Chain A
Amino acid sequence: MIELRDLNKVYWMGNRKKVVADNLNIVFPSRTSIAILGRNGAGKSTLLRMIAGSVDPTSGMILSDGEISFPVGFAGSFHKDMTGAQNTRFIARIYGVDSDELMAFVAEFAELGGHFHMPLRSYSSGMKSRLAFGVSMGLRFDTYLIDEITAVGDARFKKKSREVFYERLERAGALFVSHSLGQVREMCSAGAVLEGGKLTYFDDVEEAIEVHMFNMEHS
């Protein structure tokens, strides 16, 4: 489970004050896929990054009883002069998992063939995304954070990715930011709506979507 306790987040864009979180107190249950809904610029991604631990709240705290992932498919820290294998090994070391095991998983999953042992600068963007997604799936988190998942690869690879991800979700939860309500319905059972710094949690994703649609129409 993840608990937001007296959470405030304010930042300034030029001289405009932006409130992402206004004294939020909420508990996300474990092993539940929760959609985070809200209009553009409501701060969904900032909220996700705060939960990931890469952005600090202005005040209050975020607590968790399990491991929370970095955004699934995050490739920004890959070094272009290192091979796919070296990049994978680096993340394995940071997270303290067995390097060889993670590398074996990623090598097979990402289907990079010989490229796995080539520097990243020779990769196409699709290869890079497959590597990043493979690394995310190779690590077992208790909560996966997904910010606008973009499916990579051909139809067969997409199907495989989805299957592996659903398998992970059998034993883990997810927080899911997406603008595609179709994806939200497919992946999430619960939802939360972020509006004007207030976050409202719904056990039923349909209810959350309804409130979200209402907000969108009345803006």
Chain B
Amino acid sequence: MSLNPNTTGNRKLRRVRAPLRFASLRVIMALILREMSTTYGRSPGGYAWMILEPVLGIALLTAVFSLGFRTPPLGTNFPIFYASGLLPFFMFQIIANNVSQSINNARALLAYPRVTFIDTILARLILATVTQLLVGIILFTLIVTVFETRTVLKFDRIFTAYAMAISLGAGIGIMNCLLISRYQIWQRAWSIIMRPAFLISGVIFIYENIPQPYGDYLLWNPLMHITAEMRAGFYYSYDATYVSPSYVFSIAAGAGLLGLIFLRRYNKDLREL
């Protein structure tokens, strides 16, 4: 808040709304709680579904894929192989989707000058991240205890994989948030672009399965790096030396920055749409 030297009585004059005030923790908390009670507000169980839904979804996918092959590309256990690809993939996708919808969903709330775009974006980013982390912890723990997975966890690489998925989701989400608000058609275009992503992001195969030069082409897809890093975190002998975290982080930062610059630029217009 820019304070003004002019005072009347003992109270200071402030601007009714700073151009882009930094987020306030209280508003973000309120938005998160609102989101939690409305997303699954109508179904019994409420927030529990936000966790259960992906858990069940991934369990089903794993079961289906396990039927088609004798052994997974790495190790001997199907559930852990698919889960280690699906979980970071969904982490990215859900964050990107949620963040990209934040302006659309919160437009009515912006009538309260207390609520800013940054608040709504951060609220959705935090909620999606925490939810997906919970999903990950539950599923991985379940799989590792129930099955004989023969995995040795390298927590530093798991951590890097999650960090990449979260930041890429946030970056792409912020960029899309602005693009969707300005060009409605982008939402459809993006969903078409993302449709084959599941198949070319190393979720159901690994880089080494793909003949060259196609394997190297796939490395342009940042999601390939994320899934491979996660695999490296679970399979002791799998090093995935081709993974480049800086490549993923650069794309995330680039997209996010672009989004934020546009956000600043179009902040005025967006409020009045």
Chain A residues numbered 24-64 whose CB sits less than 8 Å from any CB in chain B: 30, 50-56, 61-64
> B residues within 8 A CB of A82?
34, 37-38, 41
> B residues within 8 A CB of A96?
26
Chain A: residues with CB nearer than 8 A to chain B? 1-3, 11, 30, 50-56, 61-66, 68, 70-71, 74, 76-77, 79, 81-82, 86, 90-91, 93-96, 119
Partner of A81, one of B13, B38, B115: B38
CA A100 – CA B113 in complex, angstroms? Answer: 23
Contact A62 to B38, CB < 8 A, known contacts A54-B110, A56-B267, A76-B111: no
Return B116 CB to nearest CB of chain A, in Å: 10
B271 with A62: CB separation less than 8 A: no
CA A61 – CA B34 in complex, angstroms? Answer: 32
Interface size class of B (residues with CB under 8 A): 35 or more
Contact A70 to B113, CB < 8 A, known contacts A53-B17, A64-B14: yes
A77 with B108: CB separation less than 8 A: yes
CA A77 – CA B107 in complex, angstroms? Answer: 8
Chain B residues numbered 216-260 whose CB sits less than 8 Å from any CB in chain A: none
Cβ-closest chain B residue relative to A62: B16
Q: Given A63-B15, A65-B13, A81-B38, list of 15 further CB < 8 A pairs?
A: A1-B13, A53-B17, A54-B110, A56-B17, A63-B13, A65-B7, A70-B111, A70-B112, A79-B34, A81-B37, A82-B34, A86-B37, A90-B30, A90-B34, A93-B27
Chain B residues numbered 1-40 whose CB sits less than 8 Å from any CB in chain A: 4, 6-9, 11-17, 19, 26-27, 29-30, 33-34, 37-38
CA A116 – CA B65 in complex, angstroms? Answer: 49
Cβ-closest chain B residue relative to A52: B113
A61 with B15: CB separation less than 8 A: yes
> A residues within 8 A CB of B41?
81-82, 119
A93 with B33: CB separation less than 8 A: yes
Cβ-closest chain A residue relative to B40: A81
A56 with B111: CB separation less than 8 A: no
Chain B: residues with CB nearer than 8 A to chain A? 4, 6-9, 11-17, 19, 26-27, 29-30, 33-34, 37-38, 41-42, 108-115, 267-268, 271-272
Cβ-closest chain B residue relative to A11: B272
B272 with A55: CB separation less than 8 A: yes
> B residues within 8 A CB of A3?
13
> A residues within 8 A CB of B268?
56
CA A51 – CA B16 in complex, angstroms? Answer: 7
A79 with B38: CB separation less than 8 A: yes
B111 with A71: CB separation less than 8 A: yes
Q: List 15 A-B contacts (CB under 8 A).
A: A2-B16, A3-B13, A30-B8, A52-B16, A52-B113, A56-B19, A56-B271, A61-B15, A63-B13, A65-B7, A65-B8, A68-B113, A81-B42, A86-B37, A93-B33
Return A23 CB to nearest CB of chain B, in Å: 18
B111 with A94: CB separation less than 8 A: no
CA A124 – CA B209 in complex, angstroms? Answer: 61
B8 with A94: CB separation less than 8 A: no
Return A116 CB to nearest CB of chain B, in Å: 16
CA A1 – CA B15 in complex, angstroms? Answer: 12
Return A184 CB to nearest CB of chain B, in Å: 24
> B residues within 8 A CB of A66?
11
> A residues within 8 A CB of B14?
63-65
A93 with B30: CB separation less than 8 A: yes
> B residues within 8 A CB of A94?
26-27, 30, 112, 114-115
A55 with B271: CB separation less than 8 A: yes
> A residues within 8 A CB of B12?
65
